[in-house]
Each structure stands twice: as structure tokens, then as C-alpha cells.
Amino acid sequence: MRGLGMTGGVGLAYGAMSTIGLAPAAATPPNRFQPPAMGDLIGKAPGKQSVVVLGGGPAGLCAAYELRKGGYDVTVLEARTRPGGRVYSVRGGTTETEIGGDTQTCTFAGGHYYNLGATRIPQSHITLDYCHELGVEVQPFGNQNANTLVHYSSDTAISGQSVQYRAAKADTYGYMSELLHKAASRGALDDVLSPDDKEALSEFLSDFGDLSSDGRYLGSTRRGYSGEPGAGLNFGTETEPFPMSDVIRSGLGRNFSFEFGYDQATTMMTPVGGMDRIYYALRDKIGTDRIHFGAEVTSMKNVPDGVAVTYTQDGARKSITADYCICTVPPNLVGRFDNNLPAEVLKALSAAVPASAGKLGIEYTRRWWETEDRIYGGASNTDKDITQIMFPYDHYGSDRGVVVGYYTSGRRHLAFESLTHKQRLDKAVAEGMSIHGEKYGRDIASSFSGSWRRMKYSEGAWTNWKGAGDSHGGAATPEYELLLEPVDRIYFAGDHLSNAIAWQHGAFTSARDVVTALHQRVAAA
């Protein structure tokens, strides 16, 4: 089964179940892009099999949803009082007490929110298929904007200046094109470029860099105007390019490649009203009677012919036994359960290092970024600790909105993690003002922040596997591989066991793989 999964993706893994008589083979049309298949586990399990799912986040709810399609008796235990786990849309009424921190209660106006966890969906991810299947409405997420700013320190005259992305790109692409055109013209690349290549390259560079007829970059209207062109003889006021050496040495282009990334390139999508809409929809499909919220697991053990789980809920100690268990609890927390897992499994779990990351939402009563800075969505980037400022992708043109004042991870999040909320806000606003000006500090109605390593039931933003650096996939370690296998009747699932770590797609595909494996086992029994 894994072999099929490796070469064909989840669609084929699911389709292949027809070979064991559980699901009809779907006629798969030839398709260049091979999109992930829709949820389609329609074969019924022989006999009534029970599964207890630990965790009501993306992996847990996806597993429960797919198992229900197959006729399984499913129970989900979720410690929080809401579905979604690290998919967490903060809105008016949201209350959170960080470990060792004060209690914050969000007071954003109705309809306004930000996603403290997962916030965007690439077009290829199976997450969008689930949105489609569940009837969750989606809209574009602004991941790129020519009018947002870059602001970096350097030893050039550009240091500490706020520069629109469009200007940074025009200058960088302009000089890059001029330089390559010059080198090719001089014959410096004649060993690798034919005369035809050189002619075609020259034509491309002239357009790509907006070069003059003699191959020089002298500025471009692509940079934008300091005075907007209008009617009559108002031709607008063009801006001057930065000098070439300053552009190169300032590193203005250090973040351009972000938007070329497979999982970050435009168009990115997101559910209308908050990412958690997906999990409320799954909750409703699974049935609230099958999901126990506020259920803190204390013990998980393989027992003869089943798995026994104990948990506390409303102060009472409860237990449940099922034929199988799917554990989607973050790997850094599993070892705290009373358990009978083999030592090598516990050791493997301890190789999952929780990452530090967090965000701060600032509610403004005036959308200055639209009316003054002409920014509709997207993010400004900086080498200050805040890393980025993300502008809202909804409520355009209205009278208020929630800006994400920082989204930081790793070393740069440590600058915020240990602070109180007030200190985080003060630091974020001070840095933001140095980029977007004094208005960044005005018209603030409220704010709310969160650091995932200090959030109960997660204690991490995502998983870094020891020996795999900060890779989000593609670098399977021995510990990772071990945890792909069930321990008797306990299966592990979650984005940490995928090649899309920190993405819902990873959690969903992991859950689907585990459900497939479990379903096959039941069928073969």
C-alpha cells in the first residue's frame, strides 16, 4: 500500500482499495496536474468496528470523518472546547490563557478575526477539496502585493527606508537584466549561448527589466509614482531608481522568492470567515455526539484486542475502549500519557521538536493601509523582529480591520514568546511605526496575541524532526519512519508525519493514509 501511495498520492491509494473489494474503482481521467482525490472511502467495514480518535484538529477530524463514511463507530476526544486544534481563528469572545501567562479575551468587532494558526491554502492542497466537499466557502488570501513594503537594514543609503515591493522589484529586475545583457553582449557567455540564444535572451531582458534601447536600466513606471497620473496634462510624477550597487548590496530582493514557492505562489485561498470554518463543518458532519470536547487524555494503552483510553472531562475520570486508536496528539505531548508504548517509539516521539511561532492581531478602527498606503491584502517584510506585517484579506473598503502585526517563527519569535501581551503589542507597534509611519500607532481598538509553545494542548507551532533541520518534509528520519507504523492497534497521524509539515494538507493526507491502512487491516482480518 505504501508503494502505491508513494507513486500515486492519496488519490491512487484510495482508488487502489477496489482491489480488496471495499471501494469501487473510480475512472481516473488522465490529468497533467494530478489533483488530490476527494474524500471517497465509501466501502463499509465488515462488522461494527470501533475507533477512538485522540485530538479534534485537522488530522483527527479528517480521520473521524472518513471512518464514518466507512461505517466505523468513531469517538473523538478533544481536550479543548472547540474543534480545529492549531487551526485557531481568533475573534470577539475568544479567550486564551498561555502557560504562565495572563488571560486574554478578544474584543474584535463582529465579523473580524485573524487566524493564529493556519491561515492560507495553496491551490494544489487537498484542503481545498475538503472545503468543496464540506461546502466551506473560500476566497483569495493576499500573499503578495506590489504596494506592500520592504524595510531592511544594510550599509547602503537604502538602509532603514521603506520601499514598495514594486519599486524593489523594478530596480532589482532592471539592473539584473542590464548586467546579464551586458555580459552576453560582451561575449562572456559565448560558450553556453548560441547567437540565437543571445538574440532571444536580449529580447526577453529588454522587456523583463524595462531596459532602454541601448540595454540600460534607467528607472521604470513599474516603480510607481510619487504623484498619481490623472487626466489632461497630469502625467504623474515618476520616481527615481536607487543606484545599482545599493540595490544589490541592500538585499532588497531577499524575499522575492517567497512567492515562487510551490506552496506560497499566488493564488492562495482561505475560507470566508476564518480557517476554523472547516473544522466546525467537519464537527457537524461527524456529529457532536461523537466528539467529546474538554476531554483531556491521561492514559492510552494497547490492551488485548483493543485500545484503552482514560481521560478527564468536567472534573470526572472517564474511560473508553475501542478496537483501534488513532492518536493525532502533537508528538511532543504523547509521552506524557500513561502508556505502554515500546521504548523505541517513545524515543522516536522525543525526536519531534516543537517549533516556536506566534502572531499578534491588531484591530484598527481605520483602514489606513487601504486609504493611505493603497494596500489591499499582502504583507510588508522586514529584518526587524516582527518579520512581517500581514494585511487583512476581507472587509475591504470597510471602516475597521485586523492587521497581523507579526508572524514570526524560530529565533525571531523568541523575541516575543516570553513577553506579556502588552509588551508584545508595544514592541510590534514600535517596529511597525518605523516601517509604515506614525499612523501605525493610532486608531488601535484592541489586540490579541499567541505563542504556540505557550499554548496548552499544543506546546508547539509545528514539528522539527531532529536531524532534519527546519525542513517541512522530504527528509524522513528513522524516528519519522518508525512512527508511520502502528504500535499494535495504535496509529499515529498528523502533519508531523507528512511532507507538508505545518500545513493542513499534511494532516489530512496523513489521516487518509492511516484510515486507508486501518481499513485494509480490518478487511483482511
From residue 385, alpha-carbon distances to 151, 249, 411, 413, 517 in Å are 12, 21, 9, 7, 44
Instruction: Tell me the closest approach of the beta carbon of residue 12 to its own copies, in angstroms.
Output: 9
Closest to its own copies by CB, 162 vs 321, is 162
Type of residue at 381: N
Instruction: Tell me the closest approach of the beta carbon of residue 85 to its own copies, in angstroms.
Output: 17
User: What gap in Å lies between CA 117 and CA 276, rounded to an integer?
Assistant: 10
| Phi and psi angles of residue 53, each rounded to the nearest 5 degrees, phi first | -110, 125
Closest to its own copies by CB, 235 vs 284, is 235
Closest to its own copies by CB, 106 vs 502, is 502
Closest to its own copies by CB, 44 vs 400, is 400
Cell digits of residue 4:
502505491
Closest to its own copies by CB, 42 vs 189, is 189
Closest to its own copies by CB, 214 vs 305, is 214
* 3-class SS letters over 358-420: EEEEEEECCCHHHHCCCCCCEEEEECCCCCEEEECCCCCCCCCEEEEEEEEEHHHHHHHHCCC
Cell digits of residue 55:
485530538
Kindly provide the b/e burial profile for residues 142-165, where b requires at least 16 CB atoms within 10 angstroms of the residue's own CB: bbbbbbbbbbbeeebebeebbbbb
Closest to its own copies by CB, 361 vs 473, is 473
Instruction: Tell me the closest approach of the beta carbon of residue 88 to its own copies, in angstroms.
Output: 22
Burial class (CB in 10 A: 0-12, 13-18, 19+), 81: exposed
Rounded to the nearest angstrom, the gap between the alpha carbon of residue 151 and the centroid of all alpha carbons in its chain is 24
Instruction: Tell me the closest approach of the beta carbon of residue 293 to its own copies, in angstroms.
Output: 26
Closest C-alpha among 450, 392, 463, 382 to residue 419: 450
Closest to its own copies by CB, 320 vs 468, is 468
Instruction: Tell me the closest approach of the beta carbon of residue 18 to its own copies, in angstroms.
Output: 19
User: What gap in Å lies between CA 447 and CA 417, rounded to an integer?
Assistant: 16
Instruction: Tell me the closest approach of the beta carbon of residue 340 to its own copies, in angstroms.
Output: 24
Instruction: Tell me the closest approach of the beta carbon of residue 198 to its own copies, in angstroms.
Output: 9
**CB-CB contact of 154 with 249 (8 Å):** yes
Place of cell 466551506: 136
Instruction: Tell me the closest approach of the beta carbon of residue 297 to its own copies, in angstroms.
Output: 22
Instruction: Tell me the closest approach of the beta carbon of residue 362 to its own copies, in angstroms.
Output: 20
Closest to its own copies by CB, 156 vs 447, is 156
Closest C-alpha among 440, 434, 441, 427 to residue 372: 440
Closest C-alpha among 357, 377, 392 to residue 117: 357
Type of residue at 17: M
Closest to its own copies by CB, 201 vs 522, is 201
Instruction: Tell me the closest approach of the beta carbon of residue 114 to its own copies, in angstroms.
Output: 18
Following DSSP, what letter does each residue of 441-452 receive, concatenated? Answer: GSSEEEEEEEEG
